[in-house]
């Protein structure tokens, strides 16, 4: 497996703040970079699963006898072949590897087949017979919460409620009665699919001594070991997981997908490697989705637009298993009050089991949903007050030192006002009235605003840390052992820049190894806007340790009393008074490998406020640090078809200091494009538990021709705790497009409360308004 970059511009200086091409860019563009899906080891078997194909049923029998006799079939496994607990899950381990007595969604695995080739595999899966006793299906939140609803998981005192909680600050709900101006509305958003290029896949094999090896497309290789070991009763120290570059993740690979199934298959393959790769249709039905949500908002203010009270109810459809449902709810509730000072808040949230596909992590992790609700209700309030929507937001924007709607004191960088100021100075915004007035016949033009934020890190409740290691190799080059996956966001390039900046090296002298649990140190998952922040801070420490060590060792070669006059330059250590150079290769080959390594560890800071709400959340609430953004969408609406075209898009982002302007802009552009899909077209259309938009032929995501020219501006704000002043930028850009486009439609006369904003919905609203 190739997992080290070798293709990027060799003589480029690596400096913080300069545009730097991706270290993996050329290899990916040329097709030479290898992903997990490219692994086809000699002598391998194929593995696949028979899925339930019904949303809710009791299993009364599984007949694998015909399948076992099919040519090319090696083994057919069922629940009785699973050692360990047969339960996987990150926080709530309620999801079986193979269902034994009951199925709870259509994509649930019931039997695992190992075969010599894909044809034999498919044929065997087709002839597995299941005897199922159908149970009532539950496919919406209200039905799940009815007192006489069929229980999806037996033995739960709270029925089909996975978790519920409330956040109350100030006078809470009671304060609403004192608000002279009040507005309210209900909003809904559907499930969304990650639509990454590389589907869920991997290969695994087991050594004769029992050691399990796995190369898998995953965002959390170290956590995978614990999930596999718990589910299958294996020793986690005997599990090695390698995570090459991912062809996208967006949260859909944050948690076990193929991992436990592959490990189980490898345990029955007599040492042969086994490959599993889900089809796109299988991925849509059986992979994780963004939570569908219903949000009821009531917002109160005084007559000058000062916010006084918020009442909000957030309900999430978490699907058949918990996965990260509680944690997504925690962030959704935490962000439900937006980026504003609101002294009195009552937020109630529920995550509810249904027989729909399992929901979980996705870029914007619960925040993308509530951003729609909060930013829409802000525009509705602005109109009731006859107030400019930007002025309303500026008047109520949080500043450092304020308490946010959950009661957390913002002690870190808080650039909301900076984003609004920069957006208001942009020529597109300043000339918006002229632009909207130039709409042609049967067209309407509108401009919508959204101000959003996104927390960084896991939140309170567990250590959010990273450990970085860097090594000077015998040839004088440095190798960074990255323990957090690069799923396309460019964090590996940022690591090379950090090392190059501190150690004075050019690109040709820096290599980044992708996560391998046998070579790297635990550093958490690639998620939650934490990846470059935590590992970057750890790497800074490691690089400074390395620098101090190398200069001290070099003093021996120069016969110096101390290393005071020595500096690191590209490929050498230089004694400044004499201009003599000592090649790094000399040091790398002279000392032992242990002496050529340095490490550093860092933690994400956590909020210390003593809050009374959110006690039900074990982790994920509250957070201390947030990235911020102000977005403006410039749309043209076709009155005859309801079609919405986003003509221009402006994104102003405050995510601390920008380490690599090129990667930063790519992150913003990618997030906006994904957010526009969420806004305008992406709807999984789940009917009775079955995903109808089950492939990229029917599930419509934006292509290059659908994405407008995006202007990405940054704010000059630094986060003092971040590596070189940065914060995470990966998620916040996802949260703006849906409310910004919806508010632009609102300015056109189309007040829409349900996403996506399809032509049918737009036309319906326009027609109803005429009547």
Q: Quick one: pLDDT at residue 2?
A: 43
Of 685, 50, 57, which is closest to residue 355 (Cα–Cα)? 57
Provide the pLDDT confidence category of residue 757 given band limits of 50, 70 and 90.
Answer: very high
Q: Answer whether 710's CB lies under 8 Å from 722's CB.
A: no
Provide the pLDDT confidence category of residue 498 given band limits of 50, 70 and 90.
Answer: very high
d(CA 727, CA 534): 10
Kindly state the tokens that stand for 236.
């986690």
Q: From start to end of 605-714, where are the E strands?
A: 626-638, 644-654, 686-687, 690-691, 709-714
Asked if the model's pLDDT at residue 216 lies above 70, the reply is yes
Q: Quick one: pLDDT at residue 1?
A: 40
Please compute the mean of the pLDDT values over residues 195-210 and round it to a whole number.
Answer: 97
Vertex 404, ends 400 and 408: CA angle to 5°?
85
Asked if the model's pLDDT at residue 603 lies above 60, the reply is yes
Of 8, 23, 21, which is closest to residue 663 (Cα–Cα)? 21
Q: Quick one: pLDDT at residue 11?
A: 76
Q: What residues have CB less than 8 Å from 137, skipping those under 6 apart?
A: 55, 56, 355, 688, 689
Kindly state the tokens that stand for 680.
């305008």
Kindly state the tokens that stand for 215.
């190369």
Listed range (4-8, 429-433, 499-503, 578-582) with the worst mean pLDDT: 4-8
Vertex 237, ends 241 and 596: CA angle to 5°?
75
Q: Quick one: pLDDT at residue 612?
A: 87
Check the CA dihedral 472-477-483-489 and report its sign. positive
Kindly state the tokens that stand for 356.
């729909």
Please compute the mean of the pLDDT values over residues 386-414 and round it to a whole number.
Answer: 97
Q: Quick one: pLDDT at residue 618?
A: 85
d(CA 316, CA 323): 13
Task: Calculate Rg over the CA atoms of the chain.
Answer: 27
Start-to-end C-alpha separation, the chain: 64
Kindly state the tokens that stand for 54.
């019904």
SS3 for 416? Answer: helix
Q: Quick one: pLDDT at residue 9?
A: 60
Q: Quick one: pLDDT at residue 8?
A: 54
Vertex 494, ends 4 and 621: CA angle to 5°?
110
pLDDT digits (tens, 9 = 90+) for 702-713: 999 999 999 999
Asked if the model's pLDDT at residue 667 lies above 60, the reply is yes
Q: What mean pLDDT is reported for the chain? A: 96
* Residue indicated by tokens 């399992």: 358
SS3 for 522? Answer: coil
Q: Quick one: pLDDT at residue 694?
A: 86
Instruction: Please list the helix, strand and coil fractions of the chain in percent, rounded to the nearest 5, in that order.
Output: 30, 25, 45
Please compute the mean of the pLDDT values over residues 620-632 and round it to a whole number.
Answer: 97
d(CA 663, CA 771): 49
Of 277, 251, 283, which is closest to residue 262 (Cα–Cα)? 277
Q: Answer whether 158's CB lies under 8 Å from 311's CB.
A: no
pLDDT digits (tens, 9 = 90+) for 100-141: 999 999 999 999 999 999 999 999 999 999 999 999 999 999
Q: Quick one: pLDDT at residue 86?
A: 97
């Amino acid at each position: 497996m190739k997992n080290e970059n070798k293709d990027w511009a060799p003589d480029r200086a690596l400096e913080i703040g300069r545009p730097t091409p991706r270290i993996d860019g050329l290899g990916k563009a040329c097709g030479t970079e290898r992903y997990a899906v490219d692994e086809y080891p000699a002598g391998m078997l194929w593995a696949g699963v028979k899925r339930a194909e019904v949303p809710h049923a009791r299993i009364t029998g599984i007949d694998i006898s015909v399948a076992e006799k099919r040519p090319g079939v090696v083994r057919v496994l069922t629940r009785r072949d699973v050692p360990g607990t047969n339960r996987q899950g990150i926080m709530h381990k309620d999801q079986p590897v193979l269902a034994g007595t009951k199925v709870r969604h259509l994509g649930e695995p019931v039997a695992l087949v190992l075969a010599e080739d894909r044809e034999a595999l498919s044929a065997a899966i087709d002839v597995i017979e299941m005897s199922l006793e159908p149970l009532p299906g539950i496919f919406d939140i209200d039905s799940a919460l009815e007192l006489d609803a069929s229980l999806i998981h037996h033995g739960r005192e709270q029925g089909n409620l996975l978790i519920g909680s409330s956040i109350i600050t100030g006078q809470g709900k009671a304060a609403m009665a004192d608000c002279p101006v009040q507005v309210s509305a209900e909003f809904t958003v559907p499930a969304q699919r990650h639509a990454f290029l590389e589907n869920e896949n991997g290969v695994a094999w087991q050594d004769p001594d029992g050691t399990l090896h796995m190369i898998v497309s995953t965002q959390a290789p170290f956590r995978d070991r614990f999930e596999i070991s718990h589910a299958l009763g294996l020793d986690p120290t005997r599990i090695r997981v390698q995570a090459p570059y991912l062809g996208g993740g967006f949260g859909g690979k944050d948690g076990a997908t193929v991992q436990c199934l592959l490990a189980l298959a490898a345990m029955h393959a007599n040492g042969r490697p086994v490959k599993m790769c889900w089809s796109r249709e299988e991925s849509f039905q059986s992979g994780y989705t963004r939570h569908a949500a219903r949000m009821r908002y009531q917002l109160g203010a005084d007559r000058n637009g000062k916010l006084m009270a918020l009442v909000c109810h957030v309900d999430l459809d978490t699907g058949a298993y918990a996965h990260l449902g509680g944690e997504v709810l925690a962030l959704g509730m935490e962000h439900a009050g937006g980026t504003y000072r609101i002294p009195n808040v009552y937020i109630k949230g529920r995550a509810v089991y249904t027989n729909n596909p399992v929901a979980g992590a996705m870029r914007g992790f619960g925040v993308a949903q509530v951003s729609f609700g909060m930013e829409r209700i802000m525009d509705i309030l602005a109109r009731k007050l006859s107030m400019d929507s930007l002025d309303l937001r500026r008047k109520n924007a949080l500043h450092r030192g304020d308490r946010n709607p959950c009661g957390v004191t913002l002690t870190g960088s808080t650039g909301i006002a900076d984003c609004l100021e920069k957006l208001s100075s942009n020529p597109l915004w300043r000339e918006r009235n002229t632009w909207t007035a130039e709409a042609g016949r049967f067209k309407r033009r509108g401009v919508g605003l959204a101000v959003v934020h996104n927390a960084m890190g896991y939140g309170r409740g567990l250590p959010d840390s990273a450990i970085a290691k860097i090594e000077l190799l015998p040839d004088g080059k440095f190798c960074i052992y990255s323990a957090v996956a690069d799923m396309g966001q460019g964090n590996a390039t940022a690591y090379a820049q950090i090392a190059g900046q501190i150690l004075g090296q050019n690109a040709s002298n820096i290599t980044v190894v992708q996560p391998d649990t046998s070579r790297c140190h635990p550093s958490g998952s690639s998620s939650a806007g934490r990846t470059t922040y935590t590992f970057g801070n750890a790497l800074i420490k490691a690089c400074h340790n390395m620098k101090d060590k190398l200069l001290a060792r070099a003093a021996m070669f120069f016969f110096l009393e101390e290393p005071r006059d020595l500096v690191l330059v590209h490929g050498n250590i230089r004694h400044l008074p004499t201009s003599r150079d000592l090649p790094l290769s000399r040091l790398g080959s002279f000392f032992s490998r242990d002496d050529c390594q340095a490490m550093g560890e860092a933690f994400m800071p956590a909020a210390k406020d003593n809050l009374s709400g959110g006690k039900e959340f074990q982790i994920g609430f509250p957070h201390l640090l947030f990235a911020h953004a102000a977005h403006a969408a410039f749309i043209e609406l076709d009155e005859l078809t309801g079609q919405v075209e986003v003509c221009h898009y402006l994104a102003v982002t405050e995510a601390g200091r920008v380490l690599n302007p090129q990667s930063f802009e790519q992150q913003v552009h990618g997030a906006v494009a994904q957010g526009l899909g969420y806004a305008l077209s992406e709807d999984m259309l789940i009917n009775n538990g079955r995903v109808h938009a089950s492939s990229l032929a029917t599930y419509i995501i934006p292509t290059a021709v659908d994405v407008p020219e995006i202007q990405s501006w940054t704010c000059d704000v630094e986060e003092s705790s971040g590596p070189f002043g940065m914060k995470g930028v990966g998620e916040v850009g996802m949260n703006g497009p849906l409310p910004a486009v919806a508010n632009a439609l609102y300015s056109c006369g189309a007040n829409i409360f349900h996403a996506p904003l399809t032509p049918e919905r737009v036309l319906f609203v326009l027609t109803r308004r005429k009547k």
